Amino acid sequence: TIKKKKKPTNPEVYALGQHLHISTHKARRIIDQIRGRSYAETLMILELMPYEACYPILKLLYSAAANASHNRDFNEENLVISKAEVNGGTIAKKLRPRARGRNFLIKKKTCHITIVLRDRSFKYIYVLPWYAGPQINYPVEYIGLR
Average of per-residue pLDDT across 16-26: 95
pLDDT value at residue 139: 46
3-state SS track over 57-89: HHHHHHHHHHHHHHHCCCCHHHEEEEEEEEEEE
Residue 3 lies in a domain: no
1 is a domain residue: no
The reported pTM is 0.75
49-76: per-residue pLDDT in tens? 999 999 999 999 999 999 999 988 889 9
Domain annotation covers residue 81: yes
Q: Is residue 68 part of a domain?
A: yes
Give a yes or no: residue 18 inside a domain: yes
Number of separate domains in the chain:
1
CB contact at 8 A, 16 and 118: no
Q: pLDDT tens across 87-134, in order?
A: 999 999 999 999 999 999 999 999 999 999 998 887 654 555 555 555
Are 46 and 2 in contact, with CB atoms under 8 Å apart?
no
Query: Is residue 21 a part of any domain in this protein?
Result: yes
Which H or E run includes 31? helix 24-34
Structural domain of 131? 12-141
pLDDT, position 121:
82
- In the prediction, which pLDDT does 9 show? 61
* pLDDT confidence band for 145 (50 / 70 / 90): very low
Provide the residue type at 127 as one letter. V
Domain holding 117: CATH number? Answer: 3.90.470.10
Whether 5 is covered by a domain: the verdict is no
Is 146 inside a domain boundary? no
Residue 144 confidence (pLDDT) above 90:
no
